[in-house]
Amino acid sequence: MVIMINCSKISPEMEKIIEESSPTGVIDIIVELNPNLKKFQWTKDRKKIAQIRETSFKQDTIPIIKIINELGGSVKDQLWINRTIRAVVPISGIARLCEPNVVQKLDVPRNIQISAAHST
C-alpha cells in the first residue's frame, strides 16, 4: 500500500521515502521552521540577539513537539540556530506536521559534507 500525502511542504526526497515505506512504519524527519519574522528591538549586542532568537525558536516549537508526541513519535534533536527539529514519527501522521503555519519544510536528515575547498 502506498501512502499519498497532499502537502507542498514535503521535500521530493522525503516524498520518495514515504512512498517506498510501509504505512505502519516510522520515519526519521527534519522539520524546518519558517524564519523568525517577529519584530524585536534592534540591538548590536550579538549575545542578546542570539538569546531572542533562541527563545523565539523554543516558543515556535511548542505546537510541533506537541504533535510529534501525540503521534507517538519522539524528538531527537532541536537546533535553534537553523530552526530545525529532528524527530522520528509514524509515517501515518506526517500530514499533521504539515498543518502548523510555522512549518516551512519536511525533509530528510542530511550528513554535513566538507567540500575540498574547505578541507585541510
The residues of the chain scoring below 50 in pLDDT are 1-2
pLDDT of 21: 87
All domains of the chain in start order, with CATH: 12-110 (3.30.70.80)
pLDDT of 109: 94
pLDDT of 106: 96
CA pair distance 106, 44, nearest whole angstrom: 33
The 74-79 sheet, strands edge to edge = 74-79, 84-90, 26-33, 103-107
In this structure, the dihedral spanned by the alpha carbons of residues 98, 57, 35 and 8, taken in order and rounded to 10 degrees, is: -10
pLDDT of 52: 85
pTM above 0.85, yes or no: no
